[in-house]
Each structure stands twice: as structure tokens, then as C-alpha cells.
Structure 1
Amino acid sequence: MRTLREIRAGKPALYPDQAVYAAFACAEFGLEFEDLDGGSTLVFRLATPSRTVYFGAGRCSWYPQNNATAATLASDKHFTNRILSDAGIRNLGGDYFFLSGRHRGLRPAGHEREDAFAYFRKLKGSAFVKPLAGSRGDFAQAIDAEATLGRYLDEVAAYYDAVLMQPIVCGDEYRIFLLDDEVVYAARKFRAALGGDGTHSVRELLIKHNAMLTTRGLSAIDPDAIAPDDLGRVLARAERWEIPGRTNLSAGGQMAFASPGSSALAMAQGARRALGLRAAAVDLFTDLDGDPDAAAIIEVNANPSIRLLEELQRPDLILKIWRHTLSALGLLDV
């Protein structure tokens, strides 16, 4: 039986994560795994002697136990917030704005690019903005000036059709992974950081970090959003300098297993139920703006990555998630 490490090191050596974990689960559960794309494993099938199902990499759903309506609602951050608010679950709220005039006649007034600036002023010139249907922290950043907001909207418009603008809040960020109401894991999220070498400045290290983001299809960190004095600093060897904003693993953030407490876990479970998902990763803030009793949902992910479990050497949890998936598909007995 092949281990996760053996599958990861196979040929071709670079697999999409979901294909690696599917192949690992098939090896563990006695199912057939077959690549259908000439070795890329971007399209593959899983099978028993009597049943076959197909999966794809990229933006294809990894969790067919989620119905299409629930997953689509969760992919829109505004829809998610409205549903959570209706269910009485605190979230970060905000408003959405489209970045082009296309389809303008098919949507309500008050959500165009020019309206974004009025809402920004309503938030007193400081806001957190991200693509309405984005993921992996792409183009998620704090904005503190109208000129910066204008440049940001211009750049994002090349990749997305709408953004969500929210007030800036502070707190401890967690991810809660749920299968139905079972908490599979909870993890604290930390900002990405540059590591010093005693030679290069923050600006130079940021150039290298941004190159990495670009190869992963993610937006670069805007150096103009960082204080000039910080950019010019030369970090000592092994010194860490936190990059403002993103905590996503794909953007260089860090995560460690930790529980936010029972009330926050219950909030995550309520968010999952409100959206009608069976598998979900709920991101939330605790200790909101310094209040130890305050928490709020950031977003609910219906198609979350589980790379963290491989990095923290928990293949048992990867198998737990895939057993739930394969059972929902009828490939395994519950």
C-alpha cells in the first residue's frame, strides 16, 4: 500500500494536491485510481467494480457531498454574509461593487465602481477589500486612501468582475474544518513573513516573495502599502518581518492546530448549517477588536484546501475527509 509521501514523490512528481489525496485514499480503501489526462492527473477517475466517479483539478469541486446550490452561494462572499445575517450569525458584512458596466442593466443601483468610493468614505477612508468570488487571498488587502483604492480597482478589474468592501477589524484568525457538525480540525492562522539574511532589505525580499506569488497565480504585495522606512530595513539573519494582510498558506501564511473555544466552534457549525454545506472550512475572527467575547465569521469555504494536514503530518485526517467524500458518492460503506 502506497504512502502519501510515496504518491507525492511519484512520476510525474508534481501532482495537484487533490489528485495526490485521492490516490492516497484509493490506496488505503482499496479503490481504483486512474489518471485520464496523460500523466497530469488534472482529470481522474475513482472506481469500484460496479461504480465510477470522475474528479478534476483546479476549480473543480473536491467535495461532491456539497450540493451545487450551497457551494455556489458560499462562493459569493456577499451572499454568504446575507445568509449568515438572516440566521443571526455575526459576520463582517460590507458591500459589493462591480468593476465594469457590463450587465449594468441587470443589477440593482448602488453597486457600481463610483459607488465604491462613496462607501469607502462612509467607512472613513479605511477598508479591507477583496474579490467577491476570490480565493487563496488573491487581491485581499487593506486600503487607506482613495487614490490607492482607484489603482486597486483598476488592477483587480483585469481578473475579477466585482469586489467586497468591508470595515477593517482586528482579531485572532482561525479556520474550522467541518464534516457535517463534526470538527475535523481547528487551526490558528498567522501572517506570512519575510525571513532576513543579514544582507537584503525588506524591499528586495519582497520582490522575491512577489515572484513566488505570481507563479502561483496570486496578486503581488503592493510595496507602496508598506512604510518606506520598513522597506529600506535590512533584516538580520533569521529575523522575521510580518507582511501585512494575508494569512493564506498559498500566499506564504502559517497555520497551527489550535482551538478558538467552544462558542466560536458553535458559531462555525451554525454557519455551515445556514449555508446547507456538508463539508466546509469556516474562517472567523475571535477577540474581535480586543473584545474577548466577540467573534465574527470572515467567510465560509465550500471547496477548501487540506494541504495543511499534509504539512502537519496528519494523513489520518486526510483519510477521514476522503472517507466522508467517498461514502457520500457510494464508493464506500459509511
Structure 2
Amino acid sequence: MVLISQRIFLETIKKYCLAHKIAIEIRSGGWLVIMTRDGQRRLAIGYDLGLNSAVAHQVANDKAACAEALAAAGVSVIPHTLFLGAKLSKHIPGSDSFDAMLRLLEQHPQGLVVKPNEGTSGELVVRVSTRPQLERAAARILAAYPSLAISPYVEIEDEVRVVLLDERALIVYGKTRPTITGDGTHSLRELARRAVAAEQLNTATEDFSAAELEVILPAGERRILNWRHNLDAGAEPVLLADGEARDACVALAIKAAKAVGIRFASVDVVRANGRWQVLEVNSGVKMEALGKRHPDLVEAAYQAALDEVFA
């Protein structure tokens, strides 16, 4: 795996090591970092600095297991149900049951969200409301991943990410989905091209059919482009001001981190049906999109984590 060397995560590690006289080796195109000082050898891989235990890391990366662990600890969480692909399902009878998936769809007529049970950046996260859609989504995900998770679709009013280090909130920011306003002249597709980066256009507009994208929006009509709040789908990070909402999100995120036993993580908290719930916990703390707007803040967060790595 080759990554661009300008990743803020990697650049921050390089700056930190230089400032603290730590020898650094960058391997695998920047995916693996080896840091050595006074006989101490520390590793960073992906967006993981190594502060979390193996169990906490694995639970956080397993969406269904994480949801169950949080629910068992009394944390308000969006439920996720695990389904296994052919290679794993033989070990747990019924874990590949499409009938069980259909029953979930019947229980939630507003729809379901189907996603890889382990995955990041919103890849292959699909909203379904019919049997054919569910069949296609499950087949597509299980062709690429060993398992999938299904959660009920809920209308998310707000989504907030809380970056925590040892139960201390380092950064709290919301994710604002791209919105367009009709002018009576341009099509939805043309307006979307102005609203999001070219590389995000397909992802940001995938909720619309080809015909819908060619519709001319009436002047003044506003549309949210994507039901997802993923930054890779065009959403923008916005720092959350002090107040009741921020306090509620931080308190819930800390409760979730304690339940999982994780030290350094980002916790996604959503407001749906008027209450805050945990959507997921991320063991790898990726802040590239936020770093484009607030590089000093992101660097400070990673540096605080690195201080703990070499404490």
C-alpha cells in the first residue's frame, strides 16, 4: 500500500521525531513507521499509534461487536447485526441467513444500512429499502469482505466526531453534508459539480438516479446531496462550539471509550429522533479532511498522543 507522504498524520510524526531526537524509519510507502529512542522502539501503522490494546482495537474495528459491547454497558448506540460470508458462516449456523436479513427489513420499513463489518471511510455503505436492493448490497459487500453489519436506517439530524485521548476530548467537530440551492437554470448534476470536489462527485450524488441528476432545480429549492455524513462523500468538518450539544457528545463519547477500554480513538456520535447515540468507535484516528482546515489543531492532537507513546 502506497500513500502520499504529505499525509498530516505522517508529517506530524516526522516533525515530532525530529523535535524529540527520535530515529524514524518510514516503510511500506508510509503505512508503517518505526520510531526508536534510547532503546525504546515504537511502531505506528495506518492511523494507529499503538496506544490501544489489541482487544480494544479489534472491538472498535468490529462494528457489530462494538455495538453489542456498548449496549451491554448501557451506552446509547445504533444497533448493528452481524452476518458472515460463506468462509466464516459454517462456524456459526444461521449467521449467513438471508431470511434473517429480510426479517430486519420487515421490522424497519424505513430501510436498513448495510456495510462491511470492518471498514472505514464509508466504503460500500449502502441504504436499502427493498429485497432486491438488500440482495445486491449483501452480495457486493460479501464479495469483498468476510462479513457485513446491518443497522436500521435513521434520519440523522447531526453527526459529531469526538477525538479522545485517555477520556479527554482533544477535538470535537461536526460533519456538515453538502447542500445545493436551485437557480431555475442549472441541473442538479451541474449544481453538485460546483458544491463538491470532482473526486467526490460520484459518491456525493449516488442517491440520485441519472434522470434525477438532470432535473432543473427551481430557484431557491435546497437539497442535501447525500444521506451519509462521511467526509469522503463531500461532508465538511466544522468545529463544535462550547455548549450543551458539545458537552453531551463528549460525555457520551467518553462513556463509549470506557466501555470499550480504548485510549486514543475517534467516536462518532449522532443525533436521531431527538437523542444522541453512538454510531461507531474508530481505533485508527484519521483527520486528513480536518487537517486541511485546522492543521495546528490536528498536529497538536497527534503530538499529545505521541507524548503518551513515549511517556
After TM superposition, the score normalised by the length of structure 1 is 0.77
What's the counterpart of residue 61 of structure 2? 75
Letter in 2 for 1:123: H
What's the counterpart of residue 8 of structure 1? none
Structure 1 position 46 matched with structure 2 position 35 = yes
Of the three residues 302, 306, 309, the one matched with 1:321 is 302
Superimposed CA distance per residue, residues 229-269 of structure 1 (whole angstroms, 9 cap, x where no aligned partner): 632235699x9853222222223221100153323321110
Q: CA deviation at 1:207?
A: 9.4
Of the three residues 14, 19, 25, the one matched with 1:34 is 25
Q: Is the 8 A contact 1:95 1:164 kept in 2?
A: yes
Of the three residues 269, 279, 282, the one matched with 1:298 is 279
Bigger share in strand: 2
Question: Percent of aligned pairs with the same residue?
Answer: 21
Superimposed CA distance per residue, residues 47-66 of structure 1 (whole angstroms, 9 cap, x where no aligned partner): 3243333334xxx3522110
Q: CA deviation at 1:114?
A: 3.5
Of the three residues 110, 118, 123, the one matched with 2:103 is 118
- Aligned partners of 1:199, 1:14: CA distance in 2, in Å? 42
Structure 1 position 24 matched with structure 2 position 11 = no
Change (3 A) 1:128 1:235: same
Q: Tell me, what secondary structure is at the counterpart of 2:144?
A: coil
- Aligned partners of 1:136, 1:43: CA distance in 2, in Å? 20
What's the counterpart of residue 142 of structure 2? 157
- Aligned partners of 1:69, 1:324: CA distance in 2, in Å? 19
Of the three residues 223, 232, 237, the one matched with 1:250 is 232
Change (3 A) 1:113 1:104: same
What's the counterpart of residue 214 of structure 2? 232
- Aligned partners of 1:197, 1:158: CA distance in 2, in Å? 42
Superimposed CA distance per residue, residues 3-41 of structure 1 (whole angstroms, 9 cap, x where no aligned partner): xxxxxxxxx97434432221122234343333345xx33
After TM superposition, the score normalised by the length of structure 2 is 0.83
Change (3 A) 1:197 1:135: farther
Letter in 2 for 1:247: H
What's the counterpart of residue 131 of structure 1? 116
Unpaired segments of 5 or more residues in structure 1?
1-11
Q: Tell me, what secondary structure is at the counterpart of 1:44?
A: strand
Structure 1 position 174 matched with structure 2 position 160 = yes
Q: Which has the higher contact order (CA 8 A, sep 6+)?
A: 2
RMSD: 3.4
Unpaired segments of 5 or more residues in structure 2?
none
